[in-house]
């Protein structure tokens, strides 16, 4: 049977915040959330190292038990958290290209071979000038062993894996920095999902 062709992707343009960036969507946690709170910060840079001040970053992640709020994640033994949806959005700041999220560190999620993946956040980046969504993942620097064993990480060329690991910045709650370089030296790994 013939399959239908996909509707082509287009840029979200410079004015997406009218439709897509609701207030407070970069705070994924609310009172009583289970798990370790973290802060994710970073900036988006173009091929000349200039800040990209009109990018939208979306995050999708499992809760502290490693469960996604989705009907296909049928693992009822891992409780859903009423205080955590797992989805957030942040628009980069116009002058600096900076973004931040307040969230929790996700628990591990299984891969199709039945092994546990290293804890990670899934990011989608779109901006004026990106014609397709860019998918990437954020891994944690304090999970070195799990990161090395991670199925997806092992598919990434060795010399580029570092671009997927956030840098610890300390603080309370612990802050992790994940800068996204669209081009050039240290170009972030983007995933064909």
Partner 1 sequence: MTEPIVRHYGPKAYSDHPPFNYPDYRSTVLRAPTKDMVKIVQTLSETTGPGPAWTELSEEDADLTTNAGTGGTALGQRIIVTGMVLDEAGDPVPNTLIEIWQANASGRYAHWRDEEHPAPLDPNFLGAGQCITGEDGTYRFTTVVPGPYPWPNHRNAWRPSHIHFSLMGPALGARLVTQMYFEGDPLLGLDPIYNSAPEHSRERMVASYDHDVTEENWATGYRWDIVIRGPLATPTDPEED
Q: Which DSSP string corresponds to 133-145? A: -EEEEEE-TT-HH
- Give least dist CB 79 to partner 1, A: 13
In the DSSP assignment, the letter for residue 52 is -
- Kindly tell me which residue out of 27, 82, 111, 148 binds partner 1, with binding defined by CB under 8 A: 111
Peptide bond into 59 cis (omega under 30): no
- Closest contact distance (angstroms) between CB of 100 and partner 1 is 19
**Which segments of 61-151 are extended strands (E)?**
87-91, 98-104, 120-127, 134-139
Upper half-sphere CA count for residue 169 (Cβ side, 13 Å) = 12
Binding letters toward partner 1, positions 116-155, x by CB under 8 A: -x--x-x-x-xxxxxxxxxx-x-------------xx--x
Q: For the CB of residue 169, give the shortest distance to partner 1 in the complex, in Å.
A: 25
Q: How far is CA 191 from CA 94, 120, 155, 188, in A?
A: 26, 14, 10, 10
* Complex with partner 1: residue 107 or 169, whichever CB lies closer: 107
23-42 binders of partner 1 (CB under 8 A): none
Question: Does residue 95 bind partner 1 (CB under 8 A)?
Answer: no
Q: Three-state SS for 155?
A: helix
* 187 makes contact with partner 1 (CB under 8 A): yes
We find the least distance from the C-beta atom of residue 170 to partner 1, in angstroms, to be 27
Strand pairing category for 55-60 and 120-127: antiparallel
Residue 3 in the binding site for partner 1 (CB under 8 A): yes
Site for partner 1 in 164-183 (CB under 8 A): 182-183
What does the per-residue mask of binding to partner 1 show for 37-76, with x meaning CB under 8 A?
---------xxx-x-x-x---x-x-x-----xxxxxxxxx
């Amino acid at each position: 049977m013939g399959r239908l062709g996909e509707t082509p992707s287009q840029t979200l343009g410079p004015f997406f915040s009218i439709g897509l960036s609701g207030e407070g969507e970069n705070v994924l946690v609310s009172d009583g959330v289970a798990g370790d709170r973290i802060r994710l910060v970073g900036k988006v840079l173009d091929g000349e190292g200039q800040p990209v001040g009109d990018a939208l970053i979306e995050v999708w992640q499992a809760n502290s038990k490693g469960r996604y709020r989705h009907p296909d994640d049928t693992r009822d033994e891992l409780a859903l958290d009423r205080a955590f949806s797992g989805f957030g959005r942040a628009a980069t700041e116009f002058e600096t290209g900076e973004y931040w999220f307040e969230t929790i560190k996700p628990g591990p999620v299984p891969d199709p071979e039945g092994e546990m993946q290293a804890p990670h956040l899934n990011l989608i980046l779109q901006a004026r000038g990106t014609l397709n969504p860019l998918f990437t993942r954020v891994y944690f620097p304090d999970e070195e062993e799990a990161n090395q064993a991670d199925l997806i990480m092992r598919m990434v060329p060795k010399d580029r894996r570092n671009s997927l690991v956030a840098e610890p910045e300390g603080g309370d709650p612990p802050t992790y920095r994940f800068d996204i370089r669209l081009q050039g030296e240290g170009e972030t790994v983007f995933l064909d999902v």
